């Protein structure tokens, strides 16, 4: 499964949810869904904007973890 480590990158960059949502151009609610690893999909455009805002690579945010249920 894919794990979204957005909260980790936000902490490293010392940026809050509201500030990042404003920079990226999405709602706090949608960014919160990503941050809390509840998203089922993410648009590449959104990922691009997040990476620009946090000065990071997609691999800094997205991580593949073997699903124990498989």
Phi, psi of 68 (to 5 degrees): -65, -20
Q: pTM score, two decimals?
A: 0.89
Please tell me which residue, 29 or 68, carries the higher pLDDT value: 29
Report CA 26 to chain centroid distance, whole Å: 12
Residue range 19-40, pLDDT digits in tens = 999 999 999 999 999 999 999 9
CATH superfamily placement of domain 2-64: lambda repressor-like DNA-binding domains (1.10.260.40)
Place of tokens 């805002």: 53
The CA distance from 67 to 51, in Å, is 26
Residue 47 has pLDDT above 70, yes or no: yes
Between helix 6-13 and helix 44-54 the angle, nearest 10°, is 30
So where are the chain's domains?
A: 2-64
Token couple for 24: 């990226």
Residue range 48-64, pLDDT digits in tens = 999 999 999 999 999 99
């Amino acid at each position: 499964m894919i794990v979204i480590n957005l909260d980790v990158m936000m902490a490293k960059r010392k940026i809050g949810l509201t500030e990042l949502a404003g920079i990226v151009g999405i709602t706090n609610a949608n960014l919160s869904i990503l941050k809390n690893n509840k998203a089922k999909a993410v648009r590449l455009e959104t990922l691009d904007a997040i990476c620009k805002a946090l000065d990071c690579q997609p691999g800094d945010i997205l991580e593949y973890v073997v699903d124990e249920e498989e």
